[in-house]
Structure 1
Amino acid sequence: MLRSSRLFTLLALLLLGGSSFSGCGYIRYLIPLNPMAKSATTPPTHAGWNTIVKQYVNERGLVNYRGLRADSLALNAYLQDLAAHMPSKGWTDNDRLAYWINAYNAFTVQLIIRNYPVKSIKDLGGDKIFVNTPWDKHFIHLGEEAYSLNDIEHRIIRKQFKDNRIHLALVCAAMSCPRLRNEAYTGPNLNAQLDDQGRDFLNNPTKNKLTPPDKPQVSSIFNFYPKDFTKNGSKSVQEFINRYAETKIKPDATLSYLTYNWALNEQ
């Protein structure tokens, strides 16, 4: 009887854990990760990713997955370069954050082209019993470990870097996601790139409807991670929005959230 009770408790906890995600497969990971290279390395140039996105991603952030699938060797070479240049203690915070943002976006693209054609990343499922999402697949091989997209987003980026702009740079291959930038993120340019992502995302009427200013309809990303947007110099979601919005909303605006469009961000 005691064994049965313990088994029931374990199953209940697993089910609760599996139901606690939203957005990009969000799970409240409690254990942070901080993978580092064992020997000193310099940051990669990300030139491989830069070439790929310039060729296969347009100004709207839409991806030519069909074309990229036929040129997958270039993507694989870039991912191997990431595996060979893991972050080390000698890197700046911006170099490390740029590395992980590029890794998240590039491995997401790899996941799509491996399963292409597909209508939505959410159709891919996962490899777990209770948490069956594509964000929990451990298909990302960096160094000697295998990671999931959730590991990178929640256990590395959100744990190590208290910068709420990352939510406007990580792209889950969906139409409601921020624009997939058609240039690689790099440490020296990171702040300017993230600010540009903020302006692009907040002023895109397909992602955020900022009028009327007292009752705007904004991206569900702000509902997925509300506490994150009260950090990094912002006291509220409204204040973060107004940092980049051309049309300002009221500081006490009542926010409603647009339905997230999970259709593939395909050209």
Structure 2
Amino acid sequence: MDAPLPSRRRFLIPIVLLAALGALGALYVRGMLPASVPSADKPFHYHDYAQVLRHVRADGDVDFSSIGRERADLDRFIESLASFSPHLREDVFPTSEDALAFWLNTYNALVLQQVVDGYPYLESVEQAWLGRFFWGRSWRVGGRRMTLWSLRHRILMGEFADPRVHLALFQATRGGPRMEGSHFQPEFLDAQLNEACRRFVGDKRNVRLDRGTLHLAKLFDTYREDFLAALPEGRRGNVLQFVWAFLPDTCEERPGCDTRADLDLACGPKLDRCKIVFEPEDTALPDAAARAARTER
């Protein structure tokens, strides 16, 4: 005999609620939920963010303690994002370079604020449960509630599909792409992205030849398909083609580095003779203060 209608409703209501919560959660993580847009009392600029980046050391370590003590500049820049974005104000960001620079600077600034808010107790982004550091918080950006996950995957890679982005995004890890002391600027963006790739590839922690074995940062495996998609036809089967493009020809600036000729010699003209080992990322914070303390000991 069929169950009476009220009993069916008791079963259906929680299922419907769970489905609605799941859909809402997906919209939240993907940065699809609307947010209020306050009136902007001044034109958009990066002046405040540039002040924050004075606390980035030449080696890429960050003085999070100093940023925390002088965080008004960082907070003011992030507050301004609520009124602007390339989606909301095409007049302010008329070119793709303007738009990409905005999203890159926005992502890196939000990562900085997230670290500063948890500092000094936050020692690694992995402390946050199940990667929550990158999806558990949202900010108002141009009429949307954006998470770091949505900025990276839906906006930066979804709209621009430039794999150099992966080597330019600050992940607040010692083993990831490092923060630079200057913000991304539309007029220099291509050169800045290339330099970010050269820095990352030129770091022995990320690319290291050991006879016939090439040790690569795990990032190249995680985003392998993005790197391969950017390669010319005929070279898309091997991520080493991307690595080779950003290795130096000589080691004049970085003594002891690996060069393109080294990679050719070890891996062959098609770069297919090497054993590749993807190394785990050092997820400790690139904290200048922590390193200084260890040095004093």
**How far did residue 254 of structure 1 move?**
2.8
Partner Cα distance (2:135, 2:128) in 1 = 11
User: Is the 1:139–1:146 Cα contact (8 Å) retained in structure 2?
Assistant: yes
Counterpart of 1:21? none
1:254 aligns with 2:269: no
CA distance change for structure 1 residues 226 and 66 in 2, over 3 Å: closer, same or farther?
Answer: same
Partner Cα distance (2:275, 2:104) in 1 = 31
Question: Which one has a bigger Cα radius of gyration?
Answer: 2
Partner Cα distance (1:32, 1:120) in 2 = 24
**How far did residue 95 of structure 1 move?**
1.0
User: As a proportion of its length, which structure holds more helix?
Assistant: 2
Unaligned runs of 5+ in 1: 15-26, 126-130
Counterpart of 1:154? 153
Give the aligned CA root-mean-square deviation in angstroms: 3.1
**How far did residue 32 of structure 1 move?**
8.7
Counterpart pick for 1:263 among 274, 284, 297? 284
Q: How many residue pairs align between the two structures?
A: 239
User: Is the 2:31–2:146 Cα contact (8 Å) retained in structure 1?
Assistant: no
TM-score, normalised to structure 1's length?
0.79
Output one character per residue of 1:18-77: Cα deviation in whole Å (capped at 9) or x when no partner: xxxxxxxxx9x99796x9xx9xx9994422222211x21011111000110001111011
Following superposition of structure 1 onto structure 2, how do residues 123-202 of structure 1 map, counting pairs within 5 Å? 123-125=127-129, 133-202=132-201
Counterpart of 1:18? none
Unaligned runs of 5+ in 2: 1-7, 249-258, 289-297
User: Is the 1:43–1:85 Cα contact (8 Å) retained in structure 2?
Assistant: no
Following superposition of structure 1 onto structure 2, how do residues 107-122 of structure 1 map, counting pairs within 5 Å? 107-117=110-120, 118-122=122-126
1:221 aligns with 2:224: no
CA distance change for structure 1 residues 121 and 32 in 2, over 3 Å: closer, same or farther?
Answer: closer
CA distance change for structure 1 residues 237 and 44 in 2, over 3 Å: closer, same or farther?
Answer: farther
* Fraction of identical pairs, as percent: 24
**How far did residue 133 of structure 1 move?**
1.4
Counterpart of 1:106? 109
CA distance change for structure 1 residues 139 and 31 in 2, over 3 Å: closer, same or farther?
Answer: closer
Partner Cα distance (1:176, 1:226) in 2 = 17
Following superposition of structure 1 onto structure 2, how do residues 90-105 of structure 1 map, counting pairs within 5 Å? 90=91, 91-105=94-108
Counterpart of 2:256? none
Counterpart of 1:24? none
1:207 aligns with 2:199: no
Partner Cα distance (1:162, 1:32) in 2 = 18
1:61 aligns with 2:63: no
Counterpart of 1:52? 52
Partner Cα distance (1:152, 1:31) in 2 = 8
Partner Cα distance (1:99, 1:132) in 2 = 24
